[in-house]
Structure 1
Amino acid sequence: MKSTALTKIHESLGAKMVPFAGYNMPVSYEGINLEHETVRNGVGVFDVSHMGEFLAIGEKALDLLQKVCSNDISKIQIGGAQYNCLPNLEGGIVDDLIVYRIREHEYLLVVNASNIEKDWDWISSHNDLGVELKNISDNFSLLAIQGPKAIEAMQSLTETDLSAIKFYNFEVAPFAGIDHVIISATGYTGSGGFEIYCHNEFAEQLWAKVFEAGKDFGIKPIGLAARDTLRLEMGYCLYGNDINDSTSPIEAGLGWITKFSKDFINSEALKAEKETGAARKLVGFELLERGIPRHDYEIVDVNDVVIGIVTSGTMSPSLSKGIGLGYVKTEHSKPDTDLFIKVRNKNIKAKVVKLPFYKG
């Protein structure tokens, strides 16, 4: 079991620790609902140092990333970031990731913790262009400082104008007394904020300074359980649940990051799927009766015929109702379509809704 540079701090704060993607990670501190509301209304901090980081360097780096990524990497400016996925050869997804353009010929890829080795092997196997690849995952720590008060709470830690960093852009600048920190206006909560990358040796200093700066703003540490409820309220996909090696980006609603203006791995098959239409689609649904949908629960129609499967589900802290994502046959995917979720052999009525669930 791996630890992050901040594991001892989480344990000292009384966090409930769980194994996650091979790491010992904090799942909660004071309770999911309280932590969830802290991020929605104030500012909270996640240790997401378990995420993987790769560098792609060289004149052919763009060509390699255009080949392995679904989105159009050429659109990323220096100081910009882009959400992406790595298509496989069977129509599914190797992983979803964020690509940062650091310099003219240098890119940072941030991948899911559970897929670090798999992604590294996949990208390396397609690197016939002499691109220098570096796996720096074990060297960096990452804090996600999320919530509507994040800018105000963190501004004292840097001379960079945090309010000027646009969504999916970043600055490399001094932060919390540490030089060359990546300050990225990204996150997976839908409530704004930043992700801060630094070398492991500065992680404890960063954590201490962040909490000192945020103390007047009610800043709190947040665990992975609230991260999951926050992302689900936004309808964001979680790899391993909502997307995986056998789900296509088209049926997963990720057509917007699948650009056919260029060739990439399996692009012809995905283009054909987009043109003919996917047989199933990932939809958001909310329960109309009491109950909590869970991963792998069956979705049925009024005649109790199975039409799909739940991929993610929870009791929404913000909406106080059961919500979920799931794949259903395309004819059942329109908003306001009635569905039933099979919860402990009881069919709970639900309806398809437009995402996100949480409108802010």
Structure 2
Amino acid sequence: MATPSPLHEVHSELGASFTDFAGWTMPVRYSSELAEHHAVRQAAGLFDLSHMAEIEVRGPQAADMLDYAFVGNLANVKVGRARYSMLCNTAGGVLDDLVTYRLADDRYLVVANAANAEVVTTALTERAASFDVAVAGRSTEYALLAVQGPAAAEIVRAVSDADLDSLRYYASMDATVAGTDLLLARTGYTGEDGFELYCAPGEAPALWRALTDAGQQHGLLPAGLACRDTLRLEAGMPLYGNELSEYITPFDAGLGRLVKFDKPSDFVGRDALAARAEAEARQVLVGLTGTGKRAPRSGYAVVEPSGGASIGEVTSGALSPTLGYPIAMAYVPTEYSESGTELAVDIRGKSAPVEVVTLPFYRRS
């Protein structure tokens, strides 16, 4: 049985449509996913992300352990900052992409994708065996709300005295928002400025309503998972299970910059990733743009423009609400990956022309 969010009753009052997602019952949309998408790009959207998994790593060797567990350098993350990194297997495949907050010298909060909560917790526990640290799941202790969009700072500032001007991107602080003590982070998954608020589950409904009231004059709308997907796609952000998997390395996904071979410690997957970094790439993740209103979708075949054999596969695709034309991400052989290359996508038996473009599709000014 799917787990309801701590905000389930609030979503029901707002008329949300629900979907089962990674074992949770979450709002997919409220009235219009198109309106919700535009609200985030032009004003602000309020998201419930309580399905995300929070895992605490704490102890004298927490930094060393995470450097061993992840491909990135977590030891040099300063207290109050966060880092996007990846957890890989020994073959270099991605088990999850995650954000890790350093809350103190010996304490980190790892935030994993909901579908990978058990995999990440198990992997971190196993990799912690030879370190003086404790790994503990904390998901039941947190609800997670996100305010995303150009007006996000004004909205949060209206209900908090936190110094938002000093809170940089990928940083966090303890703060009081609408009378609720919480962890406030300037992070997000939409391509816009915004904040993620980690609070106690019981405090979430009152916090949601306070943010809604503060955002009313700015055009804030509640936003569901459907528009979150089109927002992250426009921003060229990967989704685990689509662009990332245990069979895809960070280098395949164009994220080889996250792998830090120069950190002093060894890490899981290092040998395989070093070999992959030196090898000639066989496939590359690219952006595709089309015309008209028929959008490529995940799993659709990418073919040569003449309608030949399949050369790749779409991982994510949609009609972009912001840009007004179809966009997609796909893995294609390197010889087809240059920007401007003309290809096609088989959309339900009909060939639709597309052009390879550099990611992201959208970048905020």
TM range (shorter): over 0.9
Q: Give the corresponding residue for 1:268.
A: 271
Among 128, 137, 140, the residue aligned to 1:138: 140
Letter in 1 for 2:147: I
Residue 326 in structure 1 maps to residue 330 in structure 2? yes
Letter in 1 for 2:41: R
Query: What SS class does the counterpart of residue 39 from structure 1 fall into?
Result: helix
Q: For 1:145-186, what per-residue CA distance to the aligned partner results, in whole angstroms no more than 9, with x for missing partners? A: 00000111110221112132111011112111012x111000
Range with bigger deviation, 168-177 or 101-110? 168-177
Q: For 1:264-306, what per-residue CA distance to the aligned partner results, in whole angstroms no more than 9, with x for missing partners? A: 1111211221122321111111114542100010011134121
Range with bigger deviation, 149-158 or 221-230? 149-158
Range with bigger deviation, 267-276 or 51-60? 267-276
Letter in 2 for 1:145: V
Q: Give the corresponding residue for 2:52.
A: 51
Q: Give the corresponding residue for 1:300.
A: 303
Displacement of 1:312 in angstroms is: 0.3
Query: What SS class does the counterpart of residue 313 from structure 2 fall into?
Result: strand
Large movers: runs of 4+ above 2 Å: none
Range with bigger deviation, 232-241 or 155-164? 155-164
Note if contact 1:289-1:349 (Cα within 8 Å) is conserved in structure 2: no
Which structure 2 residues correspond to residues 171-320 of structure 1 after superposition, within 5 A? 171-179=173-181, 181-262=182-263, 263-303=266-306, 304-320=308-324
Note if contact 1:288-1:351 (Cα within 8 Å) is conserved in structure 2: no
| Counterpart-to-counterpart distance in 1, 2:175 and 2:164 | 11
| Counterpart-to-counterpart distance in 1, 2:83 and 2:224 | 25
Query: What SS class does the counterpart of residue 97 from structure 1 fall into?
Result: strand
| Counterpart-to-counterpart distance in 1, 2:203 and 2:37 | 27
Task: Give structure 1 stretches of 5+ with no counterpart.
Answer: none
Query: What SS class does the counterpart of residue 75 from structure 2 fall into?
Result: helix
What percentage of residue pairs aligned between the two structures are identical? 40
Q: For 1:185-210, what per-residue CA distance to the aligned partner results, in whole angstroms no more than 9, with x for missing partners? A: 00000111100000111111111111
Displacement of 1:10 in angstroms is: 0.4
Residue 118 in structure 1 maps to residue 119 in structure 2? yes
Q: Give the corresponding residue for 1:64.
A: 65
Note if contact 2:90-2:272 (Cα within 8 Å) is conserved in structure 1: no
Letter in 2 for 1:121: T
TM-score of the superposition, structure 1-length normalised? 0.98
Note if contact 1:301-1:339 (Cα within 8 Å) is conserved in structure 2: yes
Displacement of 1:356 in angstroms is: 1.1
TM-score of the superposition, structure 2-length normalised? 0.96
Residue 356 in structure 1 maps to residue 357 in structure 2? no
Q: For 1:93-123, what per-residue CA distance to the aligned partner results, in whole angstroms no more than 9, with x for missing partners? A: 0000001000011000000011111111111
Letter in 1 for 2:336: H
Q: Give the corresponding residue for 2:171.
A: 169
Letter in 2 for 1:157: V
Note if contact 1:283-1:327 (Cα within 8 Å) is conserved in structure 2: yes
Note if contact 2:191-2:363 (Cα within 8 Å) is conserved in structure 1: no
CA RMSD of aligned residues (A): 1.1
Displacement of 1:341 in angstroms is: 0.5
| Counterpart-to-counterpart distance in 1, 2:358 and 2:277 | 20
| Counterpart-to-counterpart distance in 2, 1:163 and 1:284 | 34
Displacement of 1:328 in angstroms is: 0.5
Displacement of 1:330 in angstroms is: 1.1
Q: How many pairs are equivalent?
A: 359
